[in-house]
């Protein structure tokens, strides 16, 4: 008889639920997709309900609930930090302590989880088991990976005490080898620069990564000299005099401002050469640390494969550097590497303790089902929605739909693509995506400014047929989850005429045959697509190649800036109508913007979606 374990992460950011059956992930989703609140930290009530409904079970059928971190141990760290910064940290102490000690506070997270599950009336609540934060990350990285044994590296902001951990995974066991403890944190160093450059912490780090290629790492030596002492093995020690996160609710203060020549950039203010260079500099240091840690992981474990998780594992540029280094034969990154993935990791850790097997090992595949673990909507549900709203549509057979969409993309149209189960994790992987023609030099700007309503500097990712990826990108391995950056292949590069362009103007310089997905340094964040990982998406890429000779599409998440990725047909249609998307392919239904009724809303939706 199969055994189910439900995993939950909640109360900080990116809360989520995940259901594991006999050690295999079968359902997982972030709460933000249901509530439409980006990075929603609240108890994942709707995500839990979805996971149970997906399998048609109740809580009474679940063997255990796994919570992704130890709140009591975390409270000890918070309390020790507040006491250790007295008296300068008194304001933070006064603001923080009540959030931990009240009846529904973070210290009582496990009790709150039980109360929430009981009030949801989803069945008898089973035993609730607590796992540590970095153990949850490590379990999410190793247990679904395709490897029988591997080095496992987890790097993030902070869990209970750990900020960086090294593990050795073998079969169904994880052995801890080393850790770096708070306040010394590569994730918080990166977040400090995110904050200083005017972006939102725990949200804007990927913007900083995208900004880095516009600048020069002229502050990198200063960072090494004054902020972080990096050892050859990747371990590090930070000078806390330059950071404020121990004492208050901000990341940096006057010492940081003095070091880098002035106050932090005002959010939404103009980007200057300083921000470009700060981003390039901290990215350079981050890559150095990650390479050092990866080298140590190889030496300490002797393994030829590496698994990564934790928020810093979403830094796909650093991941690409590890792959290019040749330290490992292969690197596997958990697609939900951040705290949402902790729900899955906690469930997997408990499942392995209870005797689950890793039956997928030896097949050459991971156990993540292409990260397509969220809800799907059948044609009957989609039709009911369209008819109830009197929305004009064309119902097509699957082959005709793919052909029509490929033709539209080849003609320069932008298409919303809503198919099959929703992705788990922050990346759209061809289930909830907005697609375009990568050959069009104007596509990057059009998508940023007219579709996503976001900053013009941000790059877009290519999806490519896995069998032809090496013709377009210098990839040493497959990249199914869009978590590796690689250079565009020399055969696709075009000669660059010296223009003297700097900063954002570098966007106007064409560098390859696929300019819409080529960043200003000639790189791309690649997703390789196989017929097994996503059959419908693979068919679309194949049809686009048949029409154009190009096996690549622009793939960005189906949402606007500040909004979670769409989950339902209603979410998809709303985003379609609010933006300049030309066509919506939803299930076997094709909607043309030109045929839709006029769109109006009582209030300006931009004012209701907070900037990210």
Residues 559, 421 share a domain: yes
Report pLDDT for 89: 60
pLDDT, mean over the chain: 94
Mean pLDDT of the 359-365 span: 93
Q: Is residue 25 part of a domain?
A: yes
Say yes or no to pLDDT of 1 above 60: no
Confidence of residue 285 (pLDDT cuts 50, 70, 90): very high
In angstroms, the CA 522 to CA 79 distance is: 46
Q: Does residue 479 come out as left (phi exceeding 0), alpha (psi in the -120 to 50 range) or beta?
A: beta
Q: Is residue 166 part of a domain?
A: no
Report pLDDT for 86: 66
The total number of structural domains in the chain stands at 3
Element (H, E) at 190: helix 186-196
- Reduced to 3 states, what is the DSSP secondary structure of residue 284? helix
- Is residue 13 part of the annotated active site? The answer reads yes
In angstroms, the CA 445 to CA 451 distance is: 9
For 485, phi then psi, to 5°, come to: -100, 135
Q: Given the structure tokens 């502050």, which residue do they identify?
A: 219
Residues 392, 351 share a domain: no
Q: Given the structure tokens 């590069």, which residue do they identify?
A: 493
Residues 265, 198 share a domain: yes
Q: Is residue 156 part of a domain?
A: no
Q: Does residue 434 come out as left (phi exceeding 0), alpha (psi in the -120 to 50 range) or beta?
A: beta
Q: Is residue 167 part of a domain?
A: no
Q: Is residue 147 part of a domain?
A: no
Count CA atoms within 13 Å of residue 525 on its CB side.
23
Question: 485-512 burial by CB neighbour count: b if 16+ within 10 A, else e?
Answer: bbbbbeebeeeeeeeeeeebebbebebb
Residues 572, 506 share a domain: yes
Mean pLDDT of the 453-477 span: 92
In angstroms, the CA 592 to CA 576 distance is: 10
Q: Is residue 161 part of a domain?
A: no
Residues 508, 401 share a domain: yes
Q: What is the pLDDT of residues 320-361, one digit of tens each?
A: 999 999 999 999 999 999 999 999 999 999 999 999 999 999
Residues 359, 318 share a domain: no
Residues 392, 260 share a domain: no
Counting residues of the chain whose pLDDT is more than 90, the rounded percentage is 84
Say yes or no to pLDDT of 455 above 90: no
Contacts of 507 (CB under 8 A, 6+ apart): 444, 445, 456, 457, 520
**Residue 327 Cα distances to 72, 162, 230, 291, 484, angstroms:** 38, 25, 19, 9, 15
Residues 454, 488 share a domain: yes
Residues 70, 14 share a domain: yes
Reply yes or no: is the peptide bond before residue 217 cis, omega within 30 of 0.
no
**Residue 127 Cα distances to 5, 61, 62, 169, angstroms:** 10, 12, 9, 26
Q: Which of 13, 39, 133, 134 is catalytic?
A: 13
Say yes or no to pLDDT of 82 above 80: no
Its pTM stands at 0.95
Q: Is residue 122 part of a domain?
A: yes
Q: Is residue 152 part of a domain?
A: no
Report pLDDT for 90: 58
Q: What is the pLDDT of residues 543-559, one digit of tens each?
A: 999 999 999 999 999 99
Residues 232, 136 share a domain: no
Q: Does residue 45 come out as left (phi exceeding 0), alpha (psi in the -120 to 50 range) or beta?
A: alpha
Residues 571, 509 share a domain: yes
| Token representation of residue 479 | 């990249």
Residues 468, 580 share a domain: yes
The whole domain housing 540 covers 379-608
CATH number at residue 311: 3.30.420.40
CATH number at residue 465: 3.90.870.20
Instruction: Give yes or no for a contact between 205 and 169, defined as CB atoms under 8 angstroms apart.
Output: no
Q: What is the pLDDT of residues 557-581, one digit of tens each?
A: 999 988 999 999 999 999 999 999 9
């Amino acid at each position: 008889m199969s055994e189910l374990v439900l995993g939950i992460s909640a109360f900080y950011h990116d809360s989520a639920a995940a259901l594991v059956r006999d050690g295999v992930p079968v359902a997982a989703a972030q709460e933000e997709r249901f509530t439409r609140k980006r990075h929603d930290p609240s108890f994942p009530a709707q995500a839990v309900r979805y996971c149970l409904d997906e399998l048609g079970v109740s809580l009474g059928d679940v063997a255990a609930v796994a919570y992704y971190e130890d709140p009591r141990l975390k409270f000890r760290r918070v309390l020790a930090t507040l006491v250790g910064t007295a008296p300068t940290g008194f304001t933070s102490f006064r603001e923080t302590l009540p959030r931990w000690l009240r009846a529904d506070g973070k210290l009582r997270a496990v009790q709150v989880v039980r109360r929430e599950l009981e009030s949801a009336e989803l069945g008898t609540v089973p035993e609730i088991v607590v796992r540590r934060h970095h153990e949850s990350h490590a379990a999410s990285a190793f247990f679904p990976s395709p490897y029988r044994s591997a080095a496992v590296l987890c790097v993030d902001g902070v869990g209970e005490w750990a900020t960086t951990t090294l593990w050795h995974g073998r079969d169904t066991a994880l052995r801890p080898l080393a850790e770096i403890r708070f306040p010394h944190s590569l994730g918080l160093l990166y977040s400090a620069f995110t904050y200083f450059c005017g972006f939102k912490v725990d949200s804007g780090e990927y913007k900083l990564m995208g900004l880095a290629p516009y600048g020069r790492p002229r502050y990198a030596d200063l960072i090494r000299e004054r902020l972080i002492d990096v050892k050859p093995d990747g371990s590090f020690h930070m000078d806390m005099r330059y950071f404020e996160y121990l004492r208050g609710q901000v990341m940096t203060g006057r010492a940081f401002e003095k070091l880098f020549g002035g106050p932090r950039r005002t959010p939404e203010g103009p980007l200057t050469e300083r921000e470009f260079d700060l981003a390039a500099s901290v990215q350079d240091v981050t890559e150095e640390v990650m390479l050092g840690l990866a080298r140590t992981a190889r030496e300490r474990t002797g393994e030829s494969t590496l698994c990564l998780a934790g928020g810093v594992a979403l830094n796909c540029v650093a991941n690409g550097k590890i792959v290019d280094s040749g330290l490992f034969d292969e690197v596997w990154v958990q697609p939900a590497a951040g705290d949402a993935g902790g729900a899955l990791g906690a469930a997997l850790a408990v499942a392995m303790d209870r005797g689950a097997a890793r039956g997928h090992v030896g097949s050459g595949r991971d156990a993540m089902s292409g990260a397509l673990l969220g809800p799907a909507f059948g044609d009957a549900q989609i039709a009911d929605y369209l008819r109830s709203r009197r929305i004009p549509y064309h119902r097509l057979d699957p082959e005709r739909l793919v052909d029509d969409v490929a033709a539209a993309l080849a003609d320069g149209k932008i298409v919303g693509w809503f198919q099959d189960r929703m992705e788990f994790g922050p990346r759209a992987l061809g289930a909830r995506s907005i697609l375009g023609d990568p050959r069009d030099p104007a596509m990057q700007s059009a998508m940023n400014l007219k579709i996503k309503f976001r900053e013009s500097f941000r790059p877009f990712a290519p999806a490519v047929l896995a069998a032809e990826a090496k013709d377009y990108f210098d990839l040493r391995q497959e990249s199914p989850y869009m978590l590796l950056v690689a250079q565009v292949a020399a055969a696709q590069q075009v000669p660059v005429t010296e223009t003297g362009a700097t900063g954002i103007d570098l966007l106007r310089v064409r560098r390859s045959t696929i300019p819409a997905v080529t960043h200003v340094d000639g790189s791309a964040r690649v997703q390789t697509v196989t017929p097994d990982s996503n059959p419908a998406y693979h068919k679309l890429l194949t049809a686009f190649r048949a029409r154009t000779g190009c096996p690549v599409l622009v793939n960005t998440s189906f949402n606007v800036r500040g909004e979670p990725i769409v989950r339902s047909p209603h979410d998809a249609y709303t985003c379609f109508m609010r933006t300049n998307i030309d066509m919506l392919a939803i299930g076997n239904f094709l909607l043309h913007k030109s045929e839709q009724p006029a769109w109006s809303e009582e209030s300006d939706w931009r004012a209701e979606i907070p900037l990210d």
